[in-house]
Amino acid sequence: MVLVYIDQADQQIKKSSLEAMSYGAAIAKQLGCDVAALVLGTVQDNLADLGKHGAQKVYHLKNESLNSLDVKLHSTLIATAAKNVNATVVVFAHNINGKAIAPAVAVKLEAGIVTGASSLPNTENGFVVTKTVFSGKAFASIQIETAIKVIAINQNSFGLVDYDNVAIIEEINISVPAPSIKITKVDKIEGEIPLTEASLVVSGGRGLKGPEHWNILLDLAKALGASTACSRPVSDSDWRPHHEHVGQTGIQIAPNLYIAIGISGAIQHLAGVNRSKTIVVINKDPEAPFFKAADYGVIGDAFEVVPALTAAVLKSKAAN
């Protein structure tokens, strides 16, 4: 049995967990076994729809106290569920919650673990998982030899796979201890797609010269339906809020499209965005390091290029 942990936020299933579901279903096909999802807490989504991403069954522990993350509690319940269904592989999304929970589950299951996996395991001779290392600059192949295996899959490295399937829902009964963490206050950023879940991201750096010029970036993001981000110097200068900072010391993202405007591309910034499927760099400095990592580069003044790009996007939308 392959068991996939389905992460949620505000009772909505995260896109990264749907990708983990597709990944787990592919592993189950390799191993010739069943695959199931595990959902903790209450969710608004139709859990049977997880079948569209490969789940044959959904084990649901419906308890409102599990809607907020408690690593100790969640890892204990996930490990218990994995033992109850005789799971030999447990899959997580390598997001903020997955990074915290997966290692704890591995300890409880005495399982080998690979985090940041970038592709399906090679099962021809053992169980070898490839992962990114050195901030995405290299890959390592790791063989897991334990009976139970835990894998956390990098976001946007496998993609969503469509299945013609409706999952069977099974409510499970596991005793839920009182949470060890008490949440006293929650501050939410409303009306934005979380950067970790965003498919399109438009990001700005010091090349925009100040917060008063940020409107050109916001206009492009709105036209594309993209989330906005920034480099660390921008957030440190309070031009933009700190939750938009992407990079090695900020949020690490992997969108389908990352547009960097006026960002030089220091190694610390690149480490947080180098898993993006396509990188577009707009910078007037032809020697900017970011061009070496870019799939497409535009050498030009952002104050001329970005409005022209926005106009082209809007014109294309109007024509369609």
Strand partners, 40: 61
| pLDDT, mean of residues 271-285 | 95
Banded pLDDT at 194 (limits 50, 70, 90): confident
Alpha-carbon gap, residue 255 to 226, rounded angstroms: 10
Report the pLDDT value the prediction gives residue 264, as an integer from 0 to 100: 95
- Encode pLDDT of 29-51 as tens digits: 999 999 999 999 999 999 999 99
- Encode pLDDT of 204-226 as tens digits: 999 999 999 999 999 999 999 99
- Looking at residue 253, its amino acid is I
Alpha-carbon gap, residue 81 to 62, rounded angstroms: 13
Indicate if 35 and 153 belong to the same structural domain.
Answer: yes
**Domain assignment present for 181:** no
Chain Cα centroid distance, residue 251: 10
Share of the chain above pLDDT 90, in %: 81
Indicate if 136 and 284 belong to the same structural domain.
Answer: no
Indicate if 7 and 132 belong to the same structural domain.
Answer: yes
Indicate if 128 and 221 belong to the same structural domain.
Answer: no
Owning domain of residue 245: 200-319
187's tokens: 């501050």
| pLDDT, mean of residues 7-15 | 91
Banded pLDDT at 10 (limits 50, 70, 90): confident
DSSP string of 166-196?
Answer: -PEEEE-----PPPS---------TTS--TT
**Domain assignment present for 180:** no
Alpha-carbon gap, residue 3 to 137, rounded angstroms: 30
Indicate if 147 and 70 belong to the same structural domain.
Answer: yes
Lowest-confidence region among 60-74, 85-99, 172-186, 241-255: 172-186
Report the pLDDT value the prediction gives residue 197, as an integer from 0 to 100: 85
Alpha-carbon gap, residue 276 to 258, rounded angstroms: 6
Task: For residue 275, give the CATH number of its domain.
Answer: 3.40.50.1220
Indicate if 40 and 112 belong to the same structural domain.
Answer: yes
Question: Minimal CA–CA distance to 5: which of 26, 23, 31, 32?
Answer: 23
- Could you say which of 153, 171, 189 is where a domain stops? 171
Per DSSP, the three-state class of 116 is: strand
**Domain assignment present for 178:** no
Indicate if 159 and 298 belong to the same structural domain.
Answer: no
The answer to whether 181 and 70 have CB atoms below 8 angstroms apart is yes
Indicate if 50 and 106 belong to the same structural domain.
Answer: yes
The answer to whether 245 and 231 have CB atoms below 8 angstroms apart is yes
**Domain assignment present for 179:** no
Alpha-carbon gap, residue 264 to 233, rounded angstroms: 11
Question: Minimal CA–CA distance to 53: which of 4, 125, 121?
Answer: 4
Tokens 């009964």 correspond to what residue?
173
Report the pLDDT value the prediction gives residue 320, as an integer from 0 to 100: 81
Task: For residue 61, give the CATH number of its domain.
Answer: 3.40.50.620
Chain Cα centroid distance, residue 97: 10
Pairing outcome for strands 35-40 and 128-133: unpaired
**Domain assignment present for 218:** yes
Task: For the full predicted model, state whether its pTM sits above 0.85.
Answer: yes
Indicate if 208 and 158 belong to the same structural domain.
Answer: no
Indicate if 162 and 219 belong to the same structural domain.
Answer: no
Alpha-carbon gap, residue 99 to 152, rounded angstroms: 8
Number of domains in the chain: 2
What's the chain's average pLDDT?
94
The answer to whether 313 and 300 have CB atoms below 8 angstroms apart is no
Indicate if 9 and 92 belong to the same structural domain.
Answer: yes
**Domain assignment present for 8:** yes
- Encode pLDDT of 159-193 as tens digits: 899 999 999 999 998 989 888 788 888 777 665 67
Report the pLDDT value the prediction gives residue 177, as an integer from 0 to 100: 87
The DSSP output letter for 286 is T
